[in-house]
């Protein structure tokens, strides 16, 4: 069973050890960097992705409705931004990324928010095909050089 657990002092070390394949290293920051940056990101939440008692990935979100969330003028505060999603190289292709997207969708719905937003590097080997197959659509914006996608939750 896949389980999503909020980051704790006890899970930090195990999650920090997870890595993507070498050719994916430019697609997502390390988990350690994500966990460190989350301290300075209002509205963020970090979740370890676990299969039984083994960590398999990390999901970082930003609740864009948080009163102190740092939004651009074009951002809609009525959503969850999937800030980082990484699945360890030994667990990719097993459905954990899709499960993390479902979890983010349920978080947004539970909080009464109407959309998910994500950005991704548009390069061979990136998760762009996964996100589009899941139902995300391109917005036409580039955010920090990444393609922005959104998914209404109607």
Domains and CATH numbers, the chain: 2-152 (3.40.630.30)
Predicted local confidence at residue 17, as pLDDT: 97
Predicted local confidence at residue 88, as pLDDT: 98
Predicted local confidence at residue 140, as pLDDT: 95
Alpha helices (runs of H) in 1-154, residue ranges in sequence order = 9-16, 31-38, 96-110, 128-134
Predicted local confidence at residue 1, as pLDDT: 87
Predicted local confidence at residue 92, as pLDDT: 95
Q: Shortest CA distance to 143 belongs to which of 85, 71, 77, 78?
A: 71
Predicted local confidence at residue 120, as pLDDT: 96
Predicted local confidence at residue 74, as pLDDT: 87
Coarse DSSP helix, strand, coil percentages of the chain, rounded to the nearest 5 percent: 25, 35, 40
**Residue 48 corresponds to which tokens in the numbers above?**
């370890």
Predicted local confidence at residue 154, as pLDDT: 76
Is pTM, for the whole model, over 0.85? yes
Q: Which residues of the chain have pLDDT under 50?
A: none
Please state, as a whole number, how many other Cβ atoms lie within 10 Å of the Cβ of residue 32.
15
Q: Shortest CA distance to 54 belongs to which of 95, 101, 100, 88?
A: 88
């Amino acid at each position: 069973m896949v389980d999503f657990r909020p980051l704790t002092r006890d899970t930090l070390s195990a999650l920090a050890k997870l890595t993507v394949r070498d050719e994916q290293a430019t697609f997502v920051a390390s988990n350690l960097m994500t966990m460190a940056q989350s301290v300075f990101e209002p509205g963020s939440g970090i979740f370890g992705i676990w299969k039984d008692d083994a960590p398999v990935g990390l999901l970082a979100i930003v609740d864009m409705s948080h009163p102190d969330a740092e939004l651009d003028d074009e951002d809609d505060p009525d959503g969850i931004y999937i800030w980082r999603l990484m699945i360890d190289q030994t667990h990719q292709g097993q459905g954990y990324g899709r499960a993390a997207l479902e979890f983010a969708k349920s978080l947004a719905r539970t909080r009464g928010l109407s959309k998910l937003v994500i950005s991704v590097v548009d390069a061979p080997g990136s998760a762009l095909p996964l996100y589009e197959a899941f139902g995300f659509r391109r917005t036409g914006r580039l955010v920090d050089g990444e393609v922005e996608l959104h998914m209404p939750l109607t």
